[in-house]
Amino acid sequence: MGVGGFNQEQQPMKLSNEKVCEMIKQTRSELSDEEFDVNASLRGIGLDSLDIMAVLYLVQEQTGVEVPDEEINNLDTIAKIVEYVNSR
Amino acid sequence: MYGIERIASYIPEEQLEIGPLAEAVSADPEFVRTKLGVTRLPVLDSELDTSDLAVAALNRLMAGDSVARDEIGCLIVCTQNPDGEGLPHTSALVQAKAGLPSSVAAFDISLGCSGYVYGIAAVTGFLDATGMEKGVLITADPYSKIVNRNDRDTALLFGDAATATLVSRNGPWKMIASDFGTDGAGAENLVKRDGQLSMNGRQVFNFTLSRVPDQIRKVVADAELRLDDIQVFVLHQGSRYIVESIGRRLGVPAARVPVAIEETGNTVSSSIPLILETVLESKNNKHIVISGFGVGLSWGSAVLTRNSSQ
């Protein structure tokens, strides 16, 4: 287990846009009926800084890919999150 | 078997409104109120020290007829912001200021937001080992001493408060299951540097969600109970967001996971007993979970059960 308890030795899981959309809806249930533009900014679709933190937690937990703090500002769309994780 | 008998608390009268504090760090006050859950932060009078905060809570505990000064066998103060430079231990100063007898065994515990759960286990174990009848656990960790009001990560979150918990041989609320953990590799995410608090909120959030829900499930199972058997989950009030996030992960109704941070902010080791103070009084409650997590990184959870014969 790494710091924060993520198992970084597990086989990384491929991430999809649909999976990240599910994570967003899981984090913000009031957005459950929304269709998200995967290239729109996360702030633009209604997430605040805490929501983004929570979504990235789910990404790390479910894929085993750690997202360093210094990457947070770069990963500001669904598509960029998917691309980052799948390139690890 | 020893148990919690009663809790008293003290919240300083001086309060900082969140609006001006948020403006000072260019934060949205509405975000702070709705997501962090904070509207005002009590602060210790700058002329007073940690021991004064502790004594104020202790005096309220002894204001009733539940305990006399000469009945207190041990006194534990949980703080990481002690009087002066930390030597002597703050509990010794509390003993003198409160007029407790010199027969008292007084010592400090250095823990942050997990401190109440550890502290209850410590005072219970100390009483059991010595055969003493009654002990008091005080939480008093005034972060106003170390918060930089220009630091957006911490300036809007922490408030000052103190609590005093009476533990006795006949105390009705027994700790029937507990679990503890430490991960010093993550210590840098919540530390004091150059006299000021520094926090990596994201990493503390990640640590909490990865450790705490599983630990709560474990202690409930160890107590041979189900989550549905727990009337109230009293979680450390790190922020409204983290409390609600843990509650969702556990899958329990929000009504059973109280959020009580609005008027006090995050009061570190005092946040759990501030809620417990009223929760323990309700006759409808039989099984309660307490869970603290933070500085260390450190975490602890326990099940408290009311002795049905009391």
Rounded CA separation B78/B140 (Å) = 6
Above 70 in pLDDT, residue A8?
Answer: no
Asked if B256 contacts B201 with a C-beta cutoff of 8 angstroms, the reply is no
Has B236 been annotated as catalytic? yes
Q: Is the pLDDT of residue B303 over 60?
A: yes
Can you give the pLDDT at residue A31?
82
Tell me how far apart the alpha carbons of residues B23 and B144 are, in angstroms, rounded to a whole number.
Answer: 18
pLDDT the model gives residue A35:
84
Query: What is the C-alpha separation between B37 and B208, in angstroms, rounded?
Result: 18
Q: Which residues in chain A have their CB less than 8 angstroms from residue B186's CB?
A: 3-4
Instruction: Give yes or no for a contact between B58 and A73, defined as CB atoms under 8 angstroms apart.
Output: no
**Helical axes B115-130 vs B271-279, angle rounded to 10°:** 70
Q: What is the ipTM of this complex?
A: 0.86
Q: Residue B215 in contact with residue B292, Cβ under 8 Å?
A: no
Contact residues for B71 (Cβ-Cβ < 8 A; gap 6+): B133, B134
- Greatest Cα pair distance, chain B, in angstroms, is 55
pTM summary value:
0.94
Contact B183 A3 (CB under 8 A): yes
| Confidence band, pLDDT 50/70/90 cuts, at residue A3 | very low
DSSP B118-137: HHHHHHHHHHHHHT-SEEEE
B169-207 residue pLDDT tens? 999 999 999 999 999 999 999 999 999 999 999 999 999
Amino acid identity, position B146: I
Render pLDDT for B276-291 as a digit per residue (tens, 0 to 9): 999 999 999 999 999 9
Residue A2: band (very low, low, confident or very high) from pLDDT cuts 50, 70, 90:
very low
For B28-32, what is the mean pLDDT?
A: 92
Q: Could you tell me how many CB contacts below 8 A there are between chain A and chain B?
A: 38
pLDDT higher for A2 or B93?
B93
Instruction: Give percent of chain B above pLDDT 90.
Output: 96
What pLDDT is recorded for position B309? 65
Q: d(Cα B301, Cα B219) in Å, to the nearest integer?
A: 7
Residue with tokens 């846009």: A17
Q: Do B35 and A5 touch (CB under 8 A)?
A: no
A60 and chain B in contact, CB less than 8 A:
yes
Identify the CA nearest to B66 among candidates B138, B167, B144. Answer: B167
Q: Which CATH number fits domain A3-86: 3.40.50.1970, 1.10.1200.10, 1.10.260.40, 1.10.287.3510?
A: 1.10.1200.10
Computed over every residue of chain A, the mean pLDDT equals 87
Cα torsion A5, B242, B296, B175: sign: negative
Provide the 10 A C-beta neighbour count for residue B97: 17
Read off the amino acid at residue B59.
N
Domain ranges of chain A: 3-86
Predicted confidence (pLDDT) per residue in B54-89, tens digit: 999 999 999 977 789 999 999 999 999 999 999 999
Q: Which of B74, B81, B189, B236 is catalytic?
A: B236
Beta bridge partners of residue B42, listed in sequence order = B15
- The answer to whether B170 faces chain A, any CB pair under 8 Å, is no
Inspect the interface and report whether the beta carbons of A4 and B210 lie closer than 8 Å: yes
- Residues with Cβ < 8 Å from A70, sequence gap 6 or more? none
**Cβ-based contacts of B185 with chain A (< 8 Å):** 3
Residue-wise burial string across B123-152, b where 16 or more C-beta atoms lie within 10 A, e elsewhere: bbebbeeeebebbbbbbbbbbbbbbeeeee
Confidence of residue A1 (pLDDT cuts 50, 70, 90): very low
Tell me if A53 and B207 make a contact (CB, 8 A cut-off). Answer: no
Residue range B212-265, pLDDT digits in tens? 999 999 999 999 999 999 999 999 999 999 999 999 999 999 999 999 999 999
What is the model's pLDDT at position B65?
76
Please tell me if residue A6 touches chain B, with a CB cutoff of 8 Å.
yes
